A and B are shown apart, each in its own frame.
Chain A
Amino acid sequence: MLTLENLVLTQDEFRLTADWKVQAGERVALIGPSGAGKSTLLMALAGFFAPAAGSILWQGADLAEVAPGDRPLTILFQDQNLFPHLTLAQNLGLGLSPTLRLTQAQTTQIETALLRVGLAGMQARKPGQLSGGQQGRAALARALLRARPVLLLDEPFAALGPALKAEMLELLDEVATATGAAVLMVTHDPNDAKHFADKTVLVADGVAQAPVATAELFADPPPALHDYLG
């Protein structure tokens, strides 16, 4: 269980509070206007932004002193999720063995992961030779290999077309199911939330509201969400 306890994030004029929990395996969308602090909240969870107050707990243990790489989570950034000079096999390998000394079993794991995300046989390719969708798939394959209990996504599919995005969300669903991970996904698109997430967090007016059932939230949107949806 991921707990945000009286969490306060501040940066210059910006201020965001959050006080809620995410259960294992839950799918949560974070939605709200630009600049509301969705990404900042994700960065705080991932360990790249120190909270001004409050704490982030995993299974009751405070994560404040835990380095980003040791947190029980995988994050997909908006971009730069792959090293452009490394092959896909190496990029994925970094998720398994930080020293990239791969055993035969791990190499097989990488091949399997690539197969599962539809990139079979592309181990030797470099990210520059892939399309945007394929890069997203590769990043998801690494998340699959890392198999951390929480998966954070900072709009990694925002640049993809509707069909491709639907495909990626499906893949994301598969990956999350396979690893049993709780998913927190920042999105601009209400449809992403409706299709993918059981629950939605509304981030607006300096507060990240506790997650509520997505269907209920959109059936009767609060004023802030109403304004956002237009």
Chain B
Amino acid sequence: MVAARADSFALAPADLQALRFTLLQASLSAAVSSLLAIPVARALFRRRFPLRGALISLLAAPFVLPVVVAVMGLLTVFGRGGPINTGLAWFGLPEVSIFGLHGIVLANVFFNLPLATRMLLHGWQAIPAERFRLAQSLGLPPSAQFRHLEAPMLRARLPGIFAVILLICLASFAIALMLGGGPKASTLELAIYQSLRFEFDLGRAALLAAVQFALCAAITLAAARLTLPQGFGAGLSRHLQISAPNGWRRALDIIAVIVAAVFLFAPLLAVVIKGLPGLTTLPNGLWPAALRSVSVAIVSAVLATSAALILANGAAHSKSRMIELAAMLPLAASSLVLGTGLFLLVRPFIAPENLALAITILVNATLTLPYLFRLLLPEARQLQADYGRLTESLGLPRRTILRFVTLPRLARPLGYGAGLAAALSMGDLGVIALFAGDGGATLPLFVQHLIGAYRLQQAAAAALILVALSFVLFWAFDRLGSHYADA
């Protein structure tokens, strides 16, 4: 649909510049996020400290945080008059601007460092505790443990993590909208938005969307080659106490955790401080919007998780890579591209606002599918490697395998994945903006309308409720998964 509307195939110099900038900001953001996640995830894996569990749960917060709200928080902390610049001025140093490339990278890292950390932490936890016990009983120093146990895990997981973040950053429309701008810091998505909203140049928008899609598709294809099966063998899921090294490694771990925590929570705190006073005067229409958002989030999370589980299981059983490609395909499309396409598709037949929620559910489920799939695939492969023969030799029917083997063994990543999907869907502001009519808004759109009307206090308060609801949804699903895994 998008391709059909592209009349001309020549890119203007401004569009080429946008393409270059898109690639630059995305690869910088992905590299910084994945590399910084290594020390943080390792510290969280091997150290036990008060509030560790809470910190790990909260690591999902920035990713769960609706972009509008998060950028507001970052602006408060890093923007003009924020504590960082006030501190710099205090030392007589020049002011740092949050706008432009480094602002976009900062925001992307803010969103994706926690994601990378959680994904790596799952990787660390997937190394059976027995291996660490064996390594320590052999007296392997931390460096040798790293080489033999952790490095192979990192080699297996990092490329996939990098690719996922790269794709997220390629399509980080809202961040670029708020922190980019101008010919030097414009991304492809921003250019699509501008040509649709302000120039009504459907042909150019379609061409740019096609370029965006091709770019993401190429990276998706490359990424599909990146997950390698891991041969750590099975552990008996014993609860083992693993001792962690002391000395400078301990200091490094402490620093990693503290820096990450401050970087991630200062902006959240800023939003809370701004929004709390407004909670006493909540605007009309907030609760119906919240109800719509929660319903959309739950349905699309269940939809996406079921689909991802089916696909991951299928991919784990078959040698063909077709399923993997199919599951990763939605990564190539962004909310904006899909939304524009669907909008053009349904408009001739039915008023788009009548389908707003159904299409939002569908698009959100489709867009979160690749993340869930990537999360589940290594675990599904491991499960197949460990227990595939046993289930086969016992002749267990599919339903039994699903209920007694797959669901309990994968409960943790499934719960986490469903929580992620629900929260993403909750905070999404892409498709709904194109489709919603009056009185059909979801909560993020409602917040955006408030901001547009300069009712900032109310906007912040509504944002706070949006954040709280997203987080409760995520927490509930994640908790459900952990509960079943421990049972």
Contact = CB atoms under 8 A, between A and B. Distances in A.
Interface string A60-75: 0000000111100011
Contacts of A99: 397, 399-400
A83 B236 CA distance: 9
Nearest to A97: B400
Nearest to A135: B236
Contact of A84 (B236, B389, B393): B236
Contacts, number: 65
Nearest to B411: A85
A209 to B, nearest CB: 26
Given A99-B397, A128-B237, A77 B390 contact: yes
B122 interface: no
B394 A100 contact: no
**Interface extent on A, as a size class?**
20 to 34
A69 B400 contact: no
B352 to A, nearest CB: 46
Contact of A90 (B238, B404, B409): B404
B404 A100 contact: yes
A99 B394 CA distance: 11
B390 A98 contact: no
A94 interface: yes
B237 A85 contact: yes
A55 B138 CA distance: 46
Contacts of A69: 392-396
B405 interface: yes
Contact of B400 (A84, A100, A127): A100
A85 B394 contact: no
Contacts of B399: 99
Q: Which of A67, A99, A127 has its CB near the most chain B CB atoms (within 10 A)?
A: A99
A95 B237 CA distance: 22
B266 to A, nearest CB: 40
Interface string A84-105: 1110001000110011100000
Given A94-B400, A99-B400, A68 B395 contact: yes
Interface string A122-141: 00000110000000000000
A68 B393 contact: yes
Nearest to B391: A69
B387 interface: yes
Contact of A68 (B234, B235, B392, B408): B392
A99 to B, nearest CB: 5
B236 A128 contact: yes
Contacts of A83: 387, 390, 404-405, 409
Contact of A67 (B238, B395, B485): B395
Nearest to A68: B392
A46 interface: yes
A94 B393 contact: no
Contacts of B390: 77, 80-81, 83
A51 interface: no
**Interface extent on B, as a size class?**
20 to 34
A77 B237 contact: no
Interface string B370-407: 00000000000000001101101111110110011100
Contacts of B397: 98-99
Contact of A85 (B393, B400, B409): B409
Contact of B392 (A47, A85, A86, A100): A47
Interface string B455-470: 0000000000000000
B237 A84 contact: yes
Q: Which of B235, B386, B393, B397 has its CB near the most chain A CB atoms (within 10 A)?
A: B393
A135 to B, nearest CB: 9
B400 A98 contact: yes
A95 B395 CA distance: 9
A48 interface: yes
B237 A75 contact: no
A60 to B, nearest CB: 22
A214 B115 CA distance: 61
Q: Which of B235, B238, B387, B392 has its CB near the most chain A CB atoms (within 10 A)?
A: B392
A99 B397 CA distance: 7
A80 B390 CA distance: 7
A74 B393 CA distance: 7
A10 to B, nearest CB: 19
A85 B237 CA distance: 8
B234 A80 contact: yes
Given A70-B395, A95-B394, A80 B400 contact: no
Interface string B220-237: 000000000000001111
Nearest to B235: A84
Contacts of B392: 47-48, 67-69
A98 B237 contact: no
Nearest to B238: A128
Nearest to A95: B394
Contacts of B403: 100
Contacts of A70: 395
A120 to B, nearest CB: 22
Contacts of A47: 392-393
A94 B236 CA distance: 19
B176 to A, nearest CB: 45
A5 B396 CA distance: 29
Nearest to A101: B400
Given A77-B390, A98-B400, A85 B395 contact: no
Interface of B: 234-238, 386-387, 389-390, 392-397, 399-400, 403-405, 408-409, 485
Interface of A: 46-48, 67-70, 74-75, 77, 79-81, 83-86, 90, 94-95, 98-100, 127-128
The list of the 8 closest CB pairs from A to B, nearest first, reads A69-B395, A68-B392, A84-B237, A128-B236, A128-B238, A68-B393, A84-B236, A85-B408
25 contacts: A46-B393, A47-B392, A48-B389, A48-B392, A48-B393, A69-B392, A69-B393, A69-B395, A77-B390, A80-B234, A80-B386, A80-B389, A80-B390, A83-B387, A83-B404, A84-B235, A85-B408, A85-B485, A86-B408, A94-B400, A98-B394, A98-B396, A99-B400, A100-B400, A128-B237
Given A68-B395, A69-B393, A99-B397, 19 more contacts: A48-B393, A67-B395, A68-B393, A69-B392, A69-B394, A70-B395, A74-B393, A77-B389, A80-B386, A80-B387, A83-B387, A83-B409, A85-B409, A94-B394, A94-B400, A98-B397, A99-B400, A100-B400, A128-B236
